Amino acid sequence: MREDTIRRKKASRLFKDIGGRGWLAGRMAEILCQGKRGLDGLSLELGGMVAEAIMYMEREEMAGPDYHPYCSQIQKWASQRGSIFVGDRKLGVEHPRLRGPDGEVVLRTYGKLKDSNGFSEELLGKVLRSLSAEGIVRHW
């Protein structure tokens, strides 16, 4: 199977898992009860999931898929708790790690996401609009 097909299937499974009817119905009820605060919470949660997915995709592009590394010099090295900015809010995430011959290889996306200006609200809005148009709304 082609690598890009595998990557798409992994991303699709991730969003199907988070977009199940029960999860979405619970989140919708929360938004109805809490109003803007509930919607902001959902946006942050989805923003964190998207950011984690982007970091894992970058790690795979650099190191290769599981059990088929591109280069023996760069190895996948578990993950670690960290924090990023989504809009003006700091959010805890699980970020993947890589090791190279000189030690830690920092993911470019993680560096940008840690910067309070690195992940714009405009970009987050585009990603969330794309998600709602393609996947989550279809499950509702």
For 18-53, the pLDDT digits (tens) are 656 666 677 778 888 888 888 888 888 888 888 898
Contact 128, 46 (CB under 8 A): yes
What whole-number distance in Å separates Cα of residue 140 and Cα of residue 25? 8
Contact 75, 98 (CB under 8 A): yes
- Split at pLDDT 50, 70, 90, the class of 123 is low
Say if residue 57 is exposed, middle or buried (CB neighbours under 10 Å; 0-12, 13-18, 19+): middle
Instruction: Count the helix, strand and coil residues of the chain and give each as a percent rounded to the nearest 5.
Output: 60, 20, 20
pLDDT of 64-104, one tens digit each?
888 888 888 999 998 999 999 887 789 999 999 999 999 99
Task: Give the domain ranges of the chain.
Answer: 3-139
